[in-house]
Amino acid sequence: MKKSSWVLIILGLLTMTVLVCGGMVAVSVWLFQDVTGETATIGFGPAIAIVRVEGVIMPGEAPEPSPFSTGDNSTAYSRTVIKHLKQANDNNDVKAVIIYVDSPGGSVYASDEIYLQIKQMTKPVIISMGSLAASGGYYIAAPAQEIWASPHTLTCSIGVISQFLNFEKFSAEYGVTAITVKSGKFKDSGSPFREFNEEDKALWQAMINEAYDEFVRIIADGRKMDEIEVRRWADGRVCTGKQAQQMGFVDSLGYLPDVIKHVGELVKIDGEPRLIEYGKPTNFWGISSSSLSQPSPAQQLQQLLNLHQGSPLMYLYVTP
């Protein structure tokens, strides 16, 4: 047999070995995560938990992961985040919880679910903001013991939004007729097939105002600020972490490693703290390809349409 043929055979066997070993690692790590719900750095004793809130905050629970899934950082499901927070709170080794927030916010309902769970935590909770922690991403941060952001984090965006699509002119141009049978004049309020009139606007504005007042209240309560001072900045504007600190919405500036070091000192853990992470892709394929799994423009458009399905109230920073 030619030398080149042996080289191809050996390369083929090596490739197969790597794939088989990788698959076994993926299945093993997936089974470990499925049983414990956590991944930890090597070691024993006191630890700091990291719970991740990454992506748009939506109600419900994340789909069950498979051994070969690449992870999904585009949605933070409230029930999954709450489960992770409860696990961290019940773990005797965990001395404090860092919530890493990288989110534009999302559902008013889901943000409030997470907020209420954070209020119930019996261990210190510190927020570490990533590149974006706006609107609902800030809402869930408000009750924390400390809030950290990088100088370049985009945060604030304190406010409520609900957007409606209207296809009325498009439908008329192409001869599309929507037939609606309803029990009251507001039953189809916000329908894309009819005008959004002043009565509709007043109806929705009242709900927006109610949710906005609650947003202001929980910030004033969590940050020990006067509501008048909160409203001074709570006009929907987005701000940097440095600006947010000057406004009183952020305590300290730094990145996640800085927060870990600070929290370790806060709870008196000697040396480099052991970390127990929740909500981070841990399988073989997730680790190797999560950085390549950002949603495509088409997926982002679909996500935007899903957000506005039913026109829910949103604590959401709408990016340009």
The residues annotated with a catalytic role in the active site are 135, 187
Side-chain half-sphere CA neighbours of 105 within 13 A:
29
Side-chain half-sphere CA neighbours of 56 within 13 A:
20
Give DSSP secondary structure letters for 12-47.
HHHHHHHHHHHHHHHHHHHHHHHHHS-EE-S--S-E
Whole-number Å distance between alpha carbons of 164 and 263: 43
For 155, phi and psi rounded to 5 degrees? -140, -160
CA geometry: angle 20, 22, 24, nearest 5 deg? 70
